[in-house]
Amino acid sequence: MTTIETLSAALGVQPWSLRERARDEFVLETEAAALPALADRIASAMGGRLMSLFATDAGGDAPRFSVHHIWSLSSPRGFLRVVAPIDGAAGTCPSIAAAHPSANWFEREVMDFFGLVPLAHPNPVRVAHHDDWPDGVWPLRKDVPGGLPVARVQGDFHPFRPVTGEGVFQVPVGPVHAGVIEPGHFRFGVAGEPVLYLQVRLFYVHKGIEKRFEGMPWRAGLFLAESISGDTSVGHPLAYAHAIERLAGVSVPPRAQALRVILLELERLYNHTADIGAIATDVAFTVPASRAQALRENLVRLNDDLFGTRLLRGTIAVGGVKCDLPPAARDRLRTHLRVFQKAFDELVRLLIDAGTFTDRVDGTGILSTQAARDLGVVGMVARASGVDADFRRDHPFDGYETLRFTVPVEEGGDVRARLMVRAREVEQSLSIVQQALDVLAGSPETLIAAVPEQLPSRSSALGWVEAWRGPITHWISTDTDGVIDRVKVTDPSFLNWPALVHAVPGNIIPDFPVINKSFNLSYSGNDR
Amino acid sequence: MFSILARSLKTGVLTEANPFGTQARFGFPAIDFSRCTACDACAQVCPTGAIQATAASAAVKTVSLSYAACIQCRECVVGCPEQAIGVSSDVEIASYTRQQLARTASFDVDPATGRSIFRRVEVQPGPTLEESAARLRETIRGRLGRSLHVRQVDAGSCNGCELEIAATTNPVYDLERFGIHLVASPRHADVLLVTGPVTRNMEIALQRTYDAAPDPRVVVAVGACGCSGGLFGEGTYASVGGVDRVLPVDVYVPGCPPRPQAILNGLLIAMDIRQARSA
């Protein structure tokens, strides 16, 4: 049986409704009414995981809108995009959120940006727009210009779920926080110290990135992708580059692939190290916190030394990379990482050998495996809750299939587990970098493949990457002129924020910073 | 416990005696206007509009490069057919106005050949660095003294600037030795260190944070987006733009993101300990 036949049999659809757009990327065209049943089938019978859900607007063409569900499949391996036309006049679309909670925010975002109300959604309220955004203005519709001035609506504040009872009250925090972090509003319902529930209000840093991509030359779009989340300025542009390369049918030279692996792992190293330090900071354990900060600074200085950029911006190109590692630089990198490894091991030992530290992190902020699975949590947070998934192994890209590494999984689901997943991933990353350096040494000089200025018209492709925080997908489509028509960016934070709300209740407010830090979700990547 | 102490003693002091004057491999681009032909190839490839080429009349063209919007992507360096754009190694760039971050040159267009010939580098409109420095001095009238309390506000940043601001507190840069403290509340702050672009959804929070800070207060805009809206633009449905669209900005620290030294430098300028050097 061909893959298409296997897939159509599993889905219970006709083979002709399915096509393989590119390797490992399947498209199923269906009717809107069939979406919920298909979602159930993909999730339960095939073990598919929802990675993204979004709408597109074809402008004047009828049917005007489409809704797309992107699933990650393990067998057959690949991604399945289920797309259904939506009648714009009705202003509604079917919802799958009741059975698939990871669709919850996605569908509400579709409602906010396209004006398509998800029918039978358990909580169809705004997620992206704040309360002063007027009704009836849907900024990602094609007839709404990006520069449209939108007046503020005067009125009440956001209604939070009330708390009642003696000694029970609410604690509002944010959007401007006490530390150097991104803005978001947290509303704690507390009974003394213990948190009864947490509500999160985000999208303070919504910058209209997806709208901004529309009509951009792909060359310029890469820089916008670098600024989706500043701590992921390799991961996001790499997912973007993958999508453009798949659109244009371009293969990346082996040397560029090896360099991409090195860059992605260096990004993982400096972020994981910084996070471990920040977890120590949040429990006031200053010695390891300072050490981690110094280690992290040395890593970003190494980046600067090797590539001329501390945070690895400007290294990824569409079609390859913009940098190289000559033999002397490779030696410097190997030596640095050997020294780093020793100091990093010492750092982790210092933390987990300290009873004062483990007292604070063991059993704190538990996200159970069941909750992680049900909520469709992804990435490093999911792996700390016993969910064994990693695109680098499951949907390899840039030559990861040729590298030997394991995917660390912890069962605890607490702050300690999220710390240990990071520590063990650092160990793997170090080994991956060494292997990629070997690949690099034996590969031809070419660093970049030519990509045509003009992309194929009316086409689309999915790009994916397992960045340090988790899986990133960029889905890009072009219009009749081959210009970017829509970019759907999905940061792992968007899938994981709803889970934070489940990890906090039962803990005390002073533990919230360390729980939040152990998730370390991106506000900017979420809000875009 | 003893091992911690021993290790700390062995590590010694990591703090750099003088973090300033570092040269970077890729600083800001610099146009050699004498070699420039005003062909506008650089303006075409600039993703943020930091480079503008305009024809004031049939006989005069101008080319301007503003560091306020520059994200240091180096597309202009690669895209210049005359190789007239180089990369400077300076990282500590700051100014008191947006205009001070721009360099503009005018060109005479030869009517016969249509070629542009460099005429001069234009004087920027608005106050000079010295005038601006005097005005800032007047605002703070020595009241900030030798210590500065800073409240950082992310008004829409991608978090790249936050990473570098956080880095100024690490043991290597250690901003506290300059008397600079990051404080938890705007009520304790002399300076608001604001990253941008200011989003529609943060505009009110930013204004309220400013209102909560006591006078005299100094606003430092950080990053290409904080200085100009950067890649996200100004006046879109979601992005208001540079910090100066909402608050009076006293010091601009451009860069994408600015390095920790540049941020430290900007804070010392806000204390009136250093003087701004643009371009």
* CATH class label, A209-527: mainly alpha
Residue B274 has pLDDT above 80, yes or no: no
The pLDDT value recorded for residue A61 is 65
B254 Rama class: left (phi>0) / alpha (psi -120 to 50) / beta: beta
What are the residue boundaries of the structural domains of chain A, listed by start?
A: 3-119, 209-527
Q: Are A4 and A20 in contact (CB under 8 A)?
A: yes
The pLDDT value recorded for residue A115 is 92
Both tokens assigned to A189? 């319902």
Contact B152 A149 (CB under 8 A): no
Within 8 A of A313 by CB-CB distance, chain B residues are 72, 160, 256
Distance of CA A283 to the CA centre of its chain: 27
List domains and CATH numbers for chain B: 29-122 (3.30.70.3270), 129-270 (3.40.50.12280)
> DSSP 3-state assignment of A197?
strand
What chain B residue is nearest to A226 in terms of C-alpha separation?
B158
- At A112, the pLDDT band (50, 70, 90 cuts) reads very high
Cα–Cα distances in Å, from B142 out to A118, B97, B138, B179? 59, 21, 8, 15
Contact B170 A208 (CB under 8 A): no
Between the two ends of chain A, the Cα-to-Cα distance in Å is: 42
> DSSP 3-state assignment of A376?
coil
Give the length of chain A.
Answer: 528
Q: pLDDT above 70 covers what percent of chain A? A: 99
Residue A89 has pLDDT above 90, yes or no: no
- Rg (C-alpha) for chain A, rounded Å, is 23
> Using CB atoms, which residue from B25, B48, B172 is nearest to A297?
B172
Contact A231 B159 (CB under 8 A): yes
Q: In Å, how far is B112's CA from the nearest CA of chain A?
A: 34
Residue A222 half-sphere exposure, CB side, CA atoms within 13 Å? 24
Q: For an interface test with A, which of B154, B232, B263 has the most A Cβ atoms less than 10 Å from its Cβ?
A: B154
Strand partners, B191: B150, B218
The pLDDT value recorded for residue B76 is 93
- At B279, the pLDDT band (50, 70, 90 cuts) reads low
Residue A5 burial (10 A CB sphere; 0-12, 13-18, 19+): exposed
- Which contiguous run of DSSP H or E holds residue A71? strand A65-73
Residues A174 and A186: their CA atoms lie apart, in Å, by 6
What chain A residue is nearest to B168 in terms of C-alpha separation?
A297
Q: For an interface test with B, which of A133, A214, A227 has the most B Cβ atoms less than 10 Å from its Cβ?
A: A227
Residues A186 and A164: their CA atoms lie apart, in Å, by 18
Q: Give the residue ranges of DSSP H helices in chain B.
A: 2-11, 41-45, 75-79, 129-140, 160-167, 200-212, 223-228, 260-270
Residue A458 has pLDDT above 80, yes or no: yes
**Token pair 């009238």 in the structure block, residue:** B141
Within 8 A of A220 by CB-CB distance, chain B residues are 45, 47
Q: Mind listing the pLDDT tens digit for each residue in A300-314?
A: 999 999 999 999 999
Within 8 A of B174 by CB-CB distance, chain A residues are none
Q: Are A331 and A320 in contact (CB under 8 A)?
A: no
Both tokens assigned to A59? 């402008």
Residue A271 burial (10 A CB sphere; 0-12, 13-18, 19+): buried
DSSP string, B84-140: -EEE-------BSSSGGGEEEEEEEEPTTT--EEEEEEEPPSS--HHHHHHHHHHHH
Q: In Å, how far is A26's CA from the nearest CA of chain B?
A: 32
The pLDDT value recorded for residue A408 is 96
| Long-range contacts formed by A386-389: CB under 8 A, 24+ apart | A386/A410, A386/A411, A386/A413, A389/A49, A389/A72, A389/A471
The DSSP secondary-structure symbol of B255 reads S
Distance of CA B178 to the CA centre of its chain: 20
Contact B158 A228 (CB under 8 A): yes
Residue A250 has pLDDT above 70, yes or no: yes
Residue A155 has pLDDT above 90, yes or no: no
Single out the residue of A205, A203, A215, A225 nearest to residue A146, CA to CA: A215
> CB neighbours of A367 closer than 8 A, spacing ≥ 6?
A377, A381, A384, A385, A413, A499, A502, A503
The pLDDT value recorded for residue A37 is 94
Single out the residue of A357, A404, A371 nearest to residue A498, CA to CA: A371
Q: Mind listing the pLDDT tens digit for each residue in B124-154?
A: 888 888 888 888 887 777 777 778 899 999 9
Rounded to 5°, the CA angle B156-B161-B167 comes to 140
Q: Mind listing the pLDDT tens digit for each residue in B95-117?
A: 999 999 998 999 888 888 888 88
CB atoms under 10 Å from CB of A355, counted, come to 9
Give the length of chain B.
Answer: 279
Residue B17 has pLDDT above 90, yes or no: no
Residue B276 has pLDDT above 80, yes or no: no
Residue window 64-123, chain A: list those with CB within 8 Å of chain B. none
- At B272, the pLDDT band (50, 70, 90 cuts) reads confident
The pLDDT value recorded for residue B243 is 96
Q: pLDDT above 70 covers what percent of chain B? A: 99
Residues B162 and B164: their CA atoms lie apart, in Å, by 5
The pLDDT value recorded for residue B198 is 96
The pLDDT value recorded for residue B278 is 64
pLDDT higher for A244 or A21?
A244
* Mean pLDDT across A468-477: 97
Contact B159 A219 (CB under 8 A): no
Single out the residue of B160, B177, B96 nearest to residue B132, CA to CA: B96
Residues A217 and B172: their CA atoms lie apart, in Å, by 40
Q: Is the dihedral of CA B187, B244, A228, A213 positive or negative?
A: positive
| pTM, rounded to two decimals | 0.95
> CB neighbours of A81 closer than 8 A, spacing ≥ 6?
A21, A25, A26, A27, A28, A68, A69, A70, A71, A462, A475
Q: Is the dihedral of CA A411, A417, A422, A425 positive or negative?
A: negative
Q: Mind listing the pLDDT tens digit for each residue in A163-189?
A: 888 889 899 988 998 889 899 999 999
The pLDDT value recorded for residue A192 is 87
Asked if A144 has any chain B CB less than 8 Å from its own CB, the reply is yes
Architecture in CATH for domain A3-119: 2-Layer Sandwich (3.30)
Residues A509 and A61: their CA atoms lie apart, in Å, by 52
Residue window 255-294, chain A: list those with CB within 8 Å of chain B. 274, 287, 290-291, 293-294
Residue window 182-201, chain A: list those with CB within 8 Å of chain B. 182-183
Residue B230 has pLDDT above 80, yes or no: yes
Q: Mind listing the pLDDT tens digit for each residue in A39-75?
A: 999 999 888 999 999 999 988 767 789 999 999 998 8
Q: Mind listing the pLDDT tens digit for each residue in A401-456?
A: 999 999 999 999 999 999 999 999 999 999 999 999 999 998 898 999 999 999 99
Asked if B256 has any chain A CB less than 8 Å from its own CB, the reply is yes
> CB neighbours of B279 closer than 8 A, spacing ≥ 6?
B28, B30, B67, B93, B101, B103
Counts of helices then strands in chain A (DSSP H, E): 17, 15
Distance of CA A324 to the CA centre of its chain: 27
The pLDDT value recorded for residue A512 is 93
Residues B52 and A417: their CA atoms lie apart, in Å, by 51
Cα–Cα distances in Å, from A359 out to A60, A345, B166? 60, 20, 27
